[in-house]
Amino acid sequence: MKKLYATILFCILLAAITDSYSQQYWLTLNSPTSRNLVSCSFVDSLRGWAAGDSGTIIRTTNGGQSWNTQISSVGNEHIECIFFLNQRLGWGVSWDITYDTNSYGSNILRTTNGGVNWQYTRYPVDDIYINTITFVDSLTGYMGGYPGILVKTIDGGLHWNQVEIDSSFFAGFPVSGFKFLNPQYGYACGGIMDFAGVIWRTTNFGERWIAYGVGPEPIFDIEIFNLTTALGVGGDLEYGPSFTRTSNGGINWSYDTLGLFGIAYAVSFRTRTEGWAPLGFSEKWMYTMDSGRTWQTYDTPDSNGIYDVQFTDKRNGFAVGNDGVILKYNSTLINIPNSISNTIPSENKLFQNYPNPFNPVSKIKFQISKSANVKLIVNDVLGREVIVLFHDNLKPGTYEMEFDGTNLPSGVYFYQLIGGDFYESKKMLLIK
């Protein structure tokens, strides 16, 4: 019996310690609405919009500290997507389903003054349901949706024309999202659950698109890293979230499921290696620290369902979801190494932290002799990862960063420097 009590006590203490390690990556902001939000668009770290149920559009001009509601002019229609090119020019799409008149189709919203006033026009073809809209400049934009609609405008959205798509089997599938690296080079993504996930690729300014079947489930969003590398996320109810990846400019794609619960509805990367994808109704995130090669899960604050996310830079990220929830990335967790010398070191080295022992703050210095993707992490004595202090590309030099153990219990920790072909670990002691 004593052994049983001791085991139970150990499990309780272990759970408490594990909880204390939990980092609050996302913080909840005050929201002016309780309507579901499904799309957000930010032009910088201060100015952004979100949209969703019942024609809801909200805007912030101070990084999410406060929001005001805008009149969208589409009544109770559900806004599927909102996109802003700059502080003035924005567009959105909504589904127009008027049962008493049997009118079914889509409306296109447009503003030229930051959403103070919105106008809308009916898409001229009935039974077309637009999911997504994006612009690469003030005149050139794209829309996609059901059934297999992929259209382009060259006059700011006044007129839309179907683009040329290759005649492959996948060409007519629904489009869910766009991403452009530049006006010439971009992708669209979509598909149908339990049937096919599809990526469309253009290399000639959107005049012609080639469709690729990449897997059995739809792809809802895509991230472009460079001309050769891109990542898409999606999934379905049965097999959960999935991701697809290309390393040769979209000609070939790998595909894999993650065995998790939920569907990845969007993806955005804070750095080249750290990316976040909301899993919607499952009330979880999946996130990666290695450019999407492996993924882990993280609970959303207060069990909120999140459906869209956007990072504007390394420090600022925003997400929206059910019941008007708005989240902002907790930038206090972000450590940017301070360069203390631009002289190129002759070797890679991790120095002993100082002070050591410490309470609760200590500094960690390291040097790298060549450009590399550098990761600095802290583990506990059981080898569990406590926090990733830094993970991104660095130029040769000597760097220093601060480690704050305020939210950690006293004990021995190990900090590790990993990058390129080097690895080094040292021990430090937190005493409170």
Residue-wise pLDDT tens digits, 114-168: 999 999 999 999 999 999 999 999 999 999 999 989 999 999 999 999 999 997 7
Say if residue 32 is preceded by a cis peptide, omega within 30 of 0: no
Candidates 274, 277, 301, 241; CA nearest to 25 is 301
Q: How far from the centroid of its chain's Cα atoms is residue 91's Cα?
A: 21
pLDDT tens digits for 302-314?
Answer: 999 999 999 999 8
Q: How confident is the model at residue 5 (pLDDT cuts 50, 70, 90)?
A: very low
**Does residue 18 have a pLDDT over 50?**
no
- Give the per-residue pLDDT at 100: 56
Taking residues 253-260, report their average pLDDT: 94
Question: Is 159 or 101 the better-scoring residue by pLDDT?
Answer: 159
Q: How far apart are CA 24 and CA 139, in angstroms?
A: 41
Percent of all residues in the chain with a pLDDT value above 90, rounded to a whole number = 74
User: In one letter, which amino acid is 375?
Assistant: K
Taking residues 404-423, report their average pLDDT: 90
**Does residue 181 have a pLDDT over 80?**
yes
Domains contained in the chain, CATH given: 24-330 (2.130.10.10), 338-430 (2.60.40.1930)
**Does residue 4 have a pLDDT over 70?**
no
- Integer angstrom CA distances of residue 63 from 89, 268, 326, 397: 19, 17, 11, 33
- Give the per-residue pLDDT at 23: 57
Backbone φ and ψ for 28, nearest 5 degrees, come out as -85, 130
- Give the per-residue pLDDT at 9: 39
CA angle 165, 89, 68 (to 5 degrees): 125
Q: How far apart are CA 295 and CA 313, in angstroms?
A: 21
Candidates 217, 180, 222; CA nearest to 195 is 217
Find the radius of gyration of the CA atoms of the chain: 24
**Does residue 12 have a pLDDT over 50?**
no
Tell me the pLDDT of the chain averaged across its residues.
90
Check residue 7 and give left, alpha or beta (phi > 0: left; psi -120 to 50: alpha). Answer: alpha
pLDDT tens digits for 215-224?
Answer: 999 999 999 9
Q: How far from the centroid of its chain's Cα atoms is residue 322's Cα?
A: 17
Question: Is 18 or 177 the better-scoring residue by pLDDT?
Answer: 177
Structure tokens, 290: 């290695």
**Does residue 6 have a pLDDT over 50?**
no
**Does residue 25 have a pLDDT over 90?**
no
**Does residue 361 have a pLDDT over 70?**
yes
pLDDT tens digits for 260-291?
Answer: 999 999 999 998 888 999 999 999 999 998 88
Taking residues 374-395, report their average pLDDT: 88
- Give the per-residue pLDDT at 389: 87
**Does residue 68 have a pLDDT over 90?**
yes
**Does residue 10 have a pLDDT over 60?**
no
Candidates 130, 118, 51; CA nearest to 83 is 51
Percent of all residues in the chain with a pLDDT value above 70, rounded to a whole number = 93
Say if pTM beats, i.e. exceeds, 0.85: no
Q: How confident is the model at residue 7 (pLDDT cuts 50, 70, 90)?
A: very low
Question: Is 74 or 47 the better-scoring residue by pLDDT?
Answer: 47
- Give the per-residue pLDDT at 226: 94
- Give the per-residue pLDDT at 167: 74
Question: Is 50 or 337 the better-scoring residue by pLDDT?
Answer: 50
Coil vs helix vs strand at 332: helix
- Give the per-residue pLDDT at 102: 66
Q: How confident is the model at residue 15 (pLDDT cuts 50, 70, 90)?
A: very low
CB 263 within 8 A of CB 241: yes
CB 144 within 8 A of CB 175: yes
Candidates 151, 159, 268; CA nearest to 200 is 151
